[in-house]
């Protein structure tokens, strides 16, 4: 299988409608193979899904909006199976190669979109983020990426994973493009913040006895006078583990409600780790779901306090750089739980989050995230653009 096949599920000529604006003119678009495009198959990263579903007759309104703004569709990009992974590996179609650190994971499930942007094959990588599928590959590939507020952008005509948590997002190499896409897709009613400097809470998570906010993170923050730290938020590993497990149960229960009948009827072939995950989902009970929902309410109250008297939260996006390819399966499972401790607050509380590629560790990209209140998407994009452009006056 060629590198191109690993990155693109489909690539070729597509008859674009005449754009109604030129806002994104000249920008190349890759679309995660969950979004429907009329006349093109949607495989969702799995041959049995492709085999058992008709070719869509309608195009996702998100894709239509981008094309109407002048973006040029280059192809549909590969995804992890039914988007149920954060690794970026696909046993059926291969693993898109991380062009920044080829010895490391590309990150999923929007792996094809991320790799195509990082390799400069496209300018806009459209994807989805349920448990971190924009933020994680953005971190691993040195890109900007936004997970939008849940429900703020339509997700119809798109293969779901867990609708209560699924969000639309996109990846770019620069902040101007990230913001330009937001101007097309986000509701015009959203406001931006006129306040400068922005008051922030600084999330200081601890994992495996070590602080994830390092001296390098702090050095970057100290160089950003437009960000004024109002309060530190010390978060212990036990809290992160509770958030991760709560999210996993709620997401897993919803996944089985969404896909359980199809899986039981079709018996699709999944990679072993994906198969084990779906099997675990099938055994979750309503009592477990209700207990997790009660815990979610408590966690969301705590997350809400993070924003008391501040505009946004600054935090590490991932525990560190992308894991190396070939890492032990048991280690990867434990790592995934830890990773979701960082990604789950946005999912649990329906919040927008932007990854900024501003750091390196072990010669690989990492960065920081801006986490905002629900529907603060445009304000976050404004902050991200100013930080990345150095417009700090």
Question: Catalytic amino acids?
Answer: 32, 109, 133
Examine residue 276 and say whether the peptide bond preceding it is cis (omega within 30 degrees of 0).
Answer: no
Question: 119 near 153, Cβ under 8 Å?
Answer: no
Angle of helix 61-68 versus helix 175-185 axis, rounded to 10: 120
* Neighbouring C-beta atoms of residue 91, cutoff 10 Å: 16
Which residues 6+ apart lie within 8 Å of 335 measured at CB? 319, 323, 327
């Amino acid at each position: 299988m060629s590198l191109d096949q690993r990155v693109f599920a489909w690539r070729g000529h597509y008859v674009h409608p005449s754009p109604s604006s030129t806002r994104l003119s000249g920008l190349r678009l890759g679309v995660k193979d969950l979004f429907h495009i009329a006349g093109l198959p949607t495989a969702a990263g799995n041959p049995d899904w492709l085999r058992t579903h008709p070719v869509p007759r309608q195009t996702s309104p998100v894709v239509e909006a981008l094309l109407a703004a002048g973006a040029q569709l280059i192809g549909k990009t590969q995804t992890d199976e039914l988007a149920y992974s954060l690794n970026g590996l696909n046993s059926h179609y291969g693993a898109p190669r991380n062009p920044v650190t080829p010895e490391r994971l590309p990150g999923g499930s929007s792996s094809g979109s991320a790799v195509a942007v990082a390799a400069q094959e496209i300018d806009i990588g459209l994807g989805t983020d349920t448990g971190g599928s924009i933020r994680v590959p953005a971190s691993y590939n040195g890109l900007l990426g936004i997970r939008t507020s849940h429900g703020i952008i339509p997700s119809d005509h798109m293969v779901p994973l867990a609708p209560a948590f699924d969000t639309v997002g996109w990846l770019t190499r620069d902040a101007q493009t990230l913001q330009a896409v937001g101007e097309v897709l986000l509701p015009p009613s959203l406001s931006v913040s006129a306040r400068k400097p922005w008051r922030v809470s600084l999330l200081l998570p601890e994992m495996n006895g070590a602080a994830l906010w390092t001296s390098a993170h702090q050095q970057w923050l100290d160089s950003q006078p437009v960000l004024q730290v109002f309060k530190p938020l010390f978060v212990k590993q036990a809290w992160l583990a509770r958030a991760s497990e709560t999210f996993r149960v709620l997401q897993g229960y919803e996944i089985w409600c969404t896909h359980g009948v199809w899986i039981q009827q079709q018996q699709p072939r999944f990679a072993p780790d994906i198969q084990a995950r779906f099997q675990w989902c099938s055994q979750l009970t309503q009592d477990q779901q209700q207990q997790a929902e009660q815990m979610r309410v408590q966690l969301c109250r705590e997350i809400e306090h993070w924003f008391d008297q501040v505009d946004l939260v600054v935090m590490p996006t991932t525990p560190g750089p992308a894991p190396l390819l070939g890492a032990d399966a048991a280690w990867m499972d434990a790592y995934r739980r830890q990773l979701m401790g960082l990604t789950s607050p946005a999912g649990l509380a329906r919040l927008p989050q932007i990854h900024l590629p501003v750091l390196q560790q072990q010669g690989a990209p990492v960065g920081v995230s801006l986490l905002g209140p629900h529907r603060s998407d445009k304000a976050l994009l404004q902050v991200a653009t100013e930080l990345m452009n150095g417009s700090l006056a």
